[in-house]
């Protein structure tokens, strides 16, 4: 394991008190490039001021609502690799080209239609994608919504603990939608979705957020990065079935 220096910062919580929090050391399963990206994001987050209320986007919303209360706990919850076998998953429903799901207990899995098996499509949970396609992830992850995009976006990049990755190679039309069901909760509320669509390809992504009614109050931070190459056609839909117990911060950005 590479020798890692702790990075200290002073954060101010909602009550106005200050606390010094160190960024965690590198995890044994974490590539150096990803750790460096996270650490850079953490440094930006701790140094950035809260958005000014004079800006129209924040005119009716208090930035303090999105400050985490349990940042140290969240920092140590890393993306979980899927351990669910395809034989344990219900058959893909007709009308879908793929399905990805994370449950409230952090069980996560993805599946693709058989006809896409040898097409070069990649649809994986973020942890597996980083392990198996690290060079591709390094090229795109955090490039549209990066460490210095904004205070809360930087926090997401530093602490994201769940996510999915979809890659569609060039010259491929996927007629049926790929459905992603994401179930945020207080144990992992920093999520990302990375979509890369090659030249002259077509795909529809339905990215649904839903939580359990009556659950404890918690905050959810979400980032979507979508790359659409030349002559591609990408439809992205984001239904949100979140109850009043969720305070949600969502940033979506596409390069077309």
Residue from 246, 251, 240, 233 nearest 194 by CA? 251
Nearest to 137, CA basis, from 194, 80, 180, 83? 194
Distances in whole angstroms, Cα of residue 148 to Cα of each of 138, 143, 186, 191: 17, 10, 25, 18
Predicted TM-score of the model (pTM): 0.89
Tally of CA atoms within 13 A in the half-sphere of 10 that contains its CB: 3
User: Is the separation of the CB atoms in 202 and 174 below 8 Å?
Assistant: yes
| Residue whose pair of structure tokens reads 């996270």 in the numeric block | 38
**Pairing relation of β-strands 98-102 and 178-182?**
parallel
Return the half-sphere exposure (C-beta side, CA atoms, 13 A cut-off) of residue 121: 23
- How would DSSP label each residue in 196-217? EE-TT-EEEEEEEEE--TTPPP
Q: What is the pLDDT of residue 191?
A: 92
Contact 72, 191 (CB under 8 A): no
Q: In order along the chain (256 residues), what is the average pLDDT of each group of 10 residues? A: 38 48 91 97 94 87 87 85 80 93 82 95 96 97 96 96 95 97 82 97 96 76 97 96 87 96
Please tell me the distance from the alpha carbon of residue 128 to that of residue 140, in angstroms, as a whole number.
Answer: 16
Q: What is the pLDDT of residue 19?
A: 56
Pairing of the two strands 240-241 and 202-210? parallel
Residue 175 tokens, joined: 């007629």
Q: What per-residue confidence (pLDDT) applies to 213? A: 65
Q: Burial of 104 by CB count in 10 Å (0-12 exposed, 13-18 middle, 19+ buried)?
A: middle
């Amino acid at each position: 394991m590479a020798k890692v220096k702790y990075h200290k910062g002073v954060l101010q919580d909602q009550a106005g008190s200050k606390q010094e929090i160190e960024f965690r050391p590198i995890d044994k399963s974490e590539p150096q490039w990803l750790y460096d990206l996270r650490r850079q994001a953490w440094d930006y987050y701790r140094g950035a001021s809260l958005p000014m209320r004079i800006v129209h986007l924040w005119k009716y919303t208090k930035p303090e609502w999105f400050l985490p209360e349990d940042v140290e706990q969240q920092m140590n919850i890393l993306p979980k690799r899927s351990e669910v076998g395809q034989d344990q998953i219900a058959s893909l429903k007709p009308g879908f080209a793929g399905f990805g799901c994370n449950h409230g207990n952090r069980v996560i899995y993805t599946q693709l239609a058989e006809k896409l098996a040898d097409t070069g499509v990649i649809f994986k949970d973020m942890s597996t994608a980083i392990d198996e396609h690290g060079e591709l992830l390094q090229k795109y992850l955090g490039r549209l919504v990066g460490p210095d995009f904004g205070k809360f976006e930087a926090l997401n990049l530093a602490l994201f603990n769940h996510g999915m990755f979809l890659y569609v190679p060039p010259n491929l039309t996927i007629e049926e939608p790929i459905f992603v069901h994401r179930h945020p909760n207080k144990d992992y509320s920093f999520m990302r979705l990375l979509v890369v669509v090659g030249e002259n390809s077509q795909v529809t992504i339905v990215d649904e957020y839903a939580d359990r009614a009556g659950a404890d109050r918690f905050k959810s931070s979400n980032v979507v990065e979508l790359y659409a190459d030349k002559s591609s056609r990408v439809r992205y839909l984001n239904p949100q079935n979140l109850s009043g117990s969720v305070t949600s911060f969502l940033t979506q950005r596409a390069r077309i």
